[in-house]
Structure formats: C-alpha cells, structure tokens
Chain A
Amino acid sequence: MSSEGSDVDFYYDDDDEMIVDDDEGSAISEDDMDGIDTYRDDYAAQPSSSKRKIYEVEFDTLPQEAVEGLIRKDVEYISSILGVETDAASLLLRHMNWNKEKLIERYMEDSAAQSAKAGIAPVEPPPAQIPPSSSRSSSSRSVKTSSAPKRVTRRTTAESALKAKALLTPEPSVEPESFLCPICCDDSQPKTLSLVCDHKFCADCWVHHLKNKIRVEGDYSIKCMASGCTLIATDSFVTSTLAEEPESVERYKELIVRSFVAANKALKFCPYPSCTYTVSCPNAATKSALTQMVPTVHCATESHKFCFGCPIESDHRPVICGVAKMWLKKCEDDSETANWIKSNTKECSKCQSTIEKNGGCNHMTCRKCKYEFCWVCMGPWSEHGTTWYSCNRFDEASGIEARDAQARSRASLERYLHYYNRWANHEQSAKLSADMYAKTEKKMEEMQITSNLSWIEVQFAKKAADELFKCRMTLKWTYAMAYYLQKDNEKEIFEANQSDLEQAVESLTELLESPIEAEDIPVLRQKMTDKTVYVQKRSEIMLEDTAKGFLENRWRWNVNVDGFEPATVLAD
C-alpha cells in the first residue's frame, strides 16, 4: 500500500507540471495506465468482503429513541456542569440551538441573562398581583435584563398588553373554587396550572394552548399564555399537562428531536415519508468533506438510500454533490434554449435582433432596423457589389467575428448534447431494464413450475437486473462528471473506466434480454453470473478510482467548482 501511496504523489506532481508543459503528456498517460492496473490488482487481492470500500462512507443509523438518548445525555451533561435542573438545562440548550460549548461560555458570563432569554426565569420582575410569599418566583427578582422591546410600536404593544393582564388576572386571594380563567372566562374550572411565573390559567386552556402550538404551529418552545411573559413551558410541564393527549406528546418529542438533528451537522433525518430514523455521518459533516466524497447513506430500512450531502438524488456516485447540482441545473435551465438560439439564429450586426432564416436568399434585410446584410458572411450587403447571391467574401474582416462566435456556440452545444444524451439514455435504460426484469421474472416463475428448477436457481436474473440498475445510475452520473472534467490524462483514464463499465453493462443487458429456454438455463445462468460479477468489478473500479481521485485532489474541472482551485481552462 505504501508504494501505491508514493505513486499517487508522483502522479499528482506530474499533473501540476503538465499544466505548464504539455509535451510530457504522453509519458504520463502511460504511467497512469499502470496506476489503473495497480488498483485492479488491489481489488483482486482484496475480495469484496473487505469491510468498507473507499467510495463508501462510514455512517450509523439511529432510531428516534437513540436521538432522544443523545439529547438526554446533553441535557444531563449541561445540568451537571451548570448545576441547573434538567428542565432548565433542556430549555437552555434549545435556546443555544444545542450548542453546548457556546451555552457554557455564555452562561458562565451571565447566567441570569441566559436564563431569561431561554425562558426559564421571567425577564421582568413578576407582576404585582403575585403574592410576595410566592417562593418560586423569588429567583426572578434579580433578573432585570434589558431584553425589553426596542421599537416604539412594540413597546406600546407590550404596555397595553400589561394593562390588559392586570385587568384579567385574578386576585390572588380568590378562592380556587371561584377562579375565573382569563382565557375562557369560565369560573367553573376546578384545576388551574401555571409556570413558575405564576400566571394561572385553567388546565383546559393550557391543554388547548399546548395542543394548538404543537399540532398546528409545530412549535416546541411554547410560551406562557400571559401576554408579554417570556417563560417557556418545560418538558415536564408539557408532558404532564398533555398526559391525556399522547399523540401531541409524541409530536412534541419529535419536534425536539428534529430541532436537535437540524442543529447537528453530523446528523440527518431520513427523508423518506414517515420514516423516523436519523443517520449519523460525522465524516460528511463539513462542506470541504463534500468535495472529497459522495456520502451515500441509508437508514435502518436499507432501501431508504439518500445522499447525506444534498437532496439531489439518492445516489449520484461517483460525482460529488456540487458538480451533480451544477449539471442538473444546466439540464433544467433555459440556458440550453439560449444555446439553441445561438446555434440556429444570427444576430443582426447592427441592432442585435435575433434572426432565424427560414428560407429565401442570402440578402437579408433586418425587419427592425432595415439593415441589409449577407446571411453567409454577415458582412454588409453593400460590400457585395454586383455579385448577387454568390458570396465569395468569406474572409471579409467584417464577417469573421460573427461567424467565429457562432461556430463556438455550435460546438459547445454539441458537446453538451453528447453528454446529455448519454446521461439521459442511461436513465432511460435503467427504467427499461427494470421493466425488462419484470418480464424475465414472470418467465422464470413459469419455468420454475414447468421444470425442476428451484427458486434459488432463478435468482441470478434478479441479481443481474439489480446490478444493472445500479451501474446505469453510476454511468449516468459519470457523464455529468465527464462534462465538467478538464481535458487531461486523468479524464482519459476516467473515460477509459467509463467505457469499460459501459461495455460490460451493455453486454449484460443483452444477456438479460436474450430469449430463455428451459434447457439453456444452466448455460445462461453461468454466463449471466459471470457477467454480473464482471460488471460489479468494473463498477467497483470506476467508483474506487473516482473516489480516490477526489481524496487525492486529482480531478480538474473546466468550470469553477466550490472548494476546488479555479479552473485553468474554462469551458466556452
């Protein structure tokens, strides 16, 4: 392995030199071909049973309970370090977007301010109507932070709200039986609840409020119902109040888990509908990591495959997220319409109107500015003298520029179409091969009945079809990658691998489509199994070499890609 490592360094250096000196190109390409062989040998030496391939990323799947466990761990950690209750620790963490270090630092600076901001302690001293004997609110006395509203309108809002509160909040001396809930104005509610701010409301209103916030607004930091009160309901308050609403409690927990996952770059929620798994992939957590690998992961449900780095497609290996995105955007964009216009029309050299010639002679008169010019050489018609309709003025300086621009744009369109057609073709073929397999499967089933083949013996076709689908997807994305790869030796190797894989895939497709007769099955099975293994190997090589290339920073692009050196040769 060590020798290979030095080889790699060697290529890399050469690659850099090559930009300066093109003459060495041929020599290097031979060396590089050796490199391919090395990889191939590597592969042969290490059968596919080896643990993790270079193009695979390490990841872990966590069920919701496990994430809840992680949250609990953080909460307990904060609780012990800062010496606060777990409920308070949870609110503090949420306030800091689950950033423990930042929380500890800020809390050490000013614990009162942080508690107030996190909604643990009231911002203002508790309203006058709360009896001084209320021991629970004593802690809030000291808290007089100035997170008061800054804007005039907001302050008036708060003031009028305070007035209203004074009017609505019941006298503390009132007996519990005659308590009038300020929300529903019902005095027959037996049970009242309040947070530490002691703003009492009937239990029914609290349930409504919490349910409304959780189910309708998807909020998990739910403020006290009193206007202007910044206290947030603690986890235990929410769960105990909603004891009879298990669905809302579940949703509440899920919302917290989601916020935790969203705040943690190494975690991602499985994007499949109603899947509750979370995938942890610390290696793909940074932007720069995404320029070196394609983090294709799946949750505990193996078919839930997705890319940890982007939402583009579940598996866009071998091309990295940034380039895949660029390619898709290009395909979707109207930029290609513009390209068509460029290739099929010309611009009036005077007023720049776009003109498509759909017949007639070469003596054009711009409809807009009435400029007369020759369609062939784009030069002014007046220079054509009396040699009407036979433009022999090809080298006329006034026409050269227009023609050059058109030729370039035509070439660029053709180049794009070359890659796009292959890209689209593989996508289409992948779909077709799935249909094809459905037919084959049916036939296989029939054969199982008519002949003495067992179920396991007809599985080879399924394996082939699955492999084909996977490889077609890989191939598809190799065309996106090739489109953006700068033309150099590395790209040549890339394309050689691509073509090997493509050939293998095509011949396996042919086998899969060949007619099946019962007596031929053993032979066909042998052939197909062999071919499948070969395709698998070619695909491994393709993926492995590309992944290695990213790690070694071997790939050069013909456009600027985030996280890479600027392109030396820009595509037209």
Chain B
Amino acid sequence: MAALPKRIIKETERLNKEAPDGITAEPHEDNLRYFDVTIKGPGGSPFEGGTFKLELFLPEDYPMAPPKVRFLTKIYHPNIDRLGRICLDILKDKWSPALQIRTVLLSIQALLSSPNPDDPLATDVAKHYKENEKEAIAQSQEWTRKYAVAG
C-alpha cells in the first residue's frame, strides 16, 4: 500500500489527542484509511442517550474527494436511509479539501440535532416528520433506545 499522506497522519493524530465531544474515531490497524467511528446522540435531540456506530473511509483522492461515511447503527432520521447512507451537502457537492474528518463528524453530529425533512433521503421518515413531528420524534427515541443503547 502506498505511503499514507502526511495529511491523514496528522488528522489521525489530532483525532486521537483531542477528540471532539461525544465523538471517537479510530483507524483500523490493517487499513489506516478505514475508521471505526462512534457519535453520541446530542443532548436535547431525539437521539440523546444513544451511541451510534459509523464507518468512515478515506478514498485514494482524499482530500480532493470527500470521505465516505455510513451509519452502522439503525437510526430513524429523515436524512439517513435504511442502509445508513447520509444526505449531507459537504459529503457531496459542497466538499472542500479544507474540510477534515473531524469537521465531517461534527457536521453529522449537528445533523442529528436538527433533522431536515425538507431535504429528505428516507422519504417515509421525512413524511412522518412533516405530518406528525411529535410522533416521529417518539419513534426516533424508541429506535435510539432499541438499537443505540448498549446492553
């Protein structure tokens, strides 16, 4: 495997030393471009109390191309589909090489705080959120309890 670019080494170091609140990201030993990620559900959100597992992969072109990120834990969220794919602008067209793993994960955490049903990926969830927000939030909380709380 080609040598790991300096940029990735630095980012990994910083993620280790000063991880953002509620976020962990650890590279695999055999593939330093592949990260196991956990994000804690932000306080005040329907996902509070849950710990969500994600996978993150830095493609060959990184940082010219965005990292690939996917939820592994089931989550009831209008911008995250059943396969865990995330609808987030900075992972697509708004990606900038100046962004980092850290900023991406912070943005995903922010997305948990403020679901955006107007730009949905999981259309059924979005519809639920638009038509009966209270019920949808309850559903999100239930899924969090069911799938994202250890034990």
Chain A residues engaging chain B, CB cutoff 8 angstroms: 151-154, 156-157, 159-161, 163-165, 168, 182-186, 199, 201, 205, 208-209, 212, 216, 223, 225-229
Contact = CB atoms under 8 A, between A and B. Distances in A.
Nearest to B100: A164
B45 to A, nearest CB: 12
Interface stretch (B33-41, B47-55, B112-120): B112-120
Contacts of A199: 98
Contacts of A152: 114, 116
B114 A164 contact: no
A227 B116 contact: no
Given A184-B6, A212-B64, A226 B96 contact: yes
B65 interface: yes
B21 interface: no
Nearest to A188: B6
Q: Which 10 A-B pairs have the closest CB atoms?
A: A156-B110, A227-B96, A164-B103, A152-B114, A185-B7, A160-B106, A212-B64, A185-B10, A185-B6, A153-B116
Nearest to B11: A185
Contact of A205 (B65, B97, B110): B97
A154 B94 CA distance: 10
A168 B96 contact: no
Contacts of A183: 7, 63, 97-98
Contacts of A229: 96
Given A153-B79, A184-B5, A227-B90, A208 B103 contact: no
A209 B61 CA distance: 10
Contacts of B90: 157, 161, 227
25 contacts: A151-B119, A152-B116, A153-B79, A153-B116, A153-B119, A156-B107, A156-B111, A156-B113, A156-B114, A160-B106, A160-B107, A161-B103, A164-B98, A168-B100, A183-B97, A184-B63, A185-B7, A185-B9, A209-B97, A212-B61, A212-B64, A212-B65, A223-B96, A227-B98, A228-B96
A152 B65 CA distance: 24
Most buried by A among B64, B88, B118: B64
Nearest to A168: B98
B102 interface: yes
Nearest to B79: A153
Contacts of A156: 107, 110-111, 113-114
Contacts of A164: 98-100, 102-103
A165 B99 CA distance: 8
* Central interface residue in B63, B116, B119, by most chain A CB within 10 Å: B63
Nearest to B65: A212
Contacts of A168: 98, 100
Contacts of B119: 151, 153
Contacts of B107: 156-157, 160-161
B30 interface: no
Interface string B54-87: 0000000101110000000000000100000000
B110 A160 contact: yes
B29 interface: no
A182 B99 CA distance: 9
B103 A163 contact: yes
B131 interface: no
A157 B63 contact: no
Contacts of B96: 161, 223, 225-229
